[in-house]
Amino acid sequence: GGMGKTTFTQHIYQEVKSSFDVMIWICVSLNFDANRLAQEILRQIPEVNGEKKNAIEEELIEERLKHKRFLLVLDDVWTYEEDEWKKLLAPFRKGESKRLIWLLSRLESQR
């Protein structure tokens, strides 16, 4: 922390807004909970016509982002729980959309 990663990324985020259909910024923090984060992500993605109201978060995220250019910033990441990350990022791996996922981490690099 304290290296200005978030401030730098916020500046870039504002600069590239016009290049994406959907912009999502999530503060992950110490408590990594894939379900909570999926709900937060979903709140930042506009609804689409005819979406299934009773679908799970993963399906709704996938449906809302289909064919869209999006940027997802995951800020203040403290932990790496592989299964939780796979669960959270699963809907972003599908579809043909142009996507960019930017992760700001406090984890030390694994060299």
The string of pLDDT tens digits covering residues 37-83 is 999 999 999 998 888 878 898 899 988 998 888 988 988 888 777 88
φ/ψ (deg, to 5) at 55: -75, 155
CA separation for the pair 29, 62 (Å, rounded): 24
Per-residue model confidence (pLDDT) at position 23: 93
Q: Which residues fall within 8 angstroms of residue 110, CB to CB, at 6 or more apart?
A: none
Per-residue model confidence (pLDDT) at position 107: 59
Q: How confident is the model at residue 111 (pLDDT cuts 50, 70, 90)?
A: very low
pTM of the model: 0.80
φ/ψ (deg, to 5) at 72: -120, 120
CA separation for the pair 22, 3 (Å, rounded): 27
Q: Which residues fall within 8 angstroms of residue 62, CB to CB, at 6 or more apart?
A: 91, 94, 95
CA separation for the pair 98, 65 (Å, rounded): 10
Tell me which amino acid residue 5 is: K
CA separation for the pair 35, 40 (Å, rounded): 9
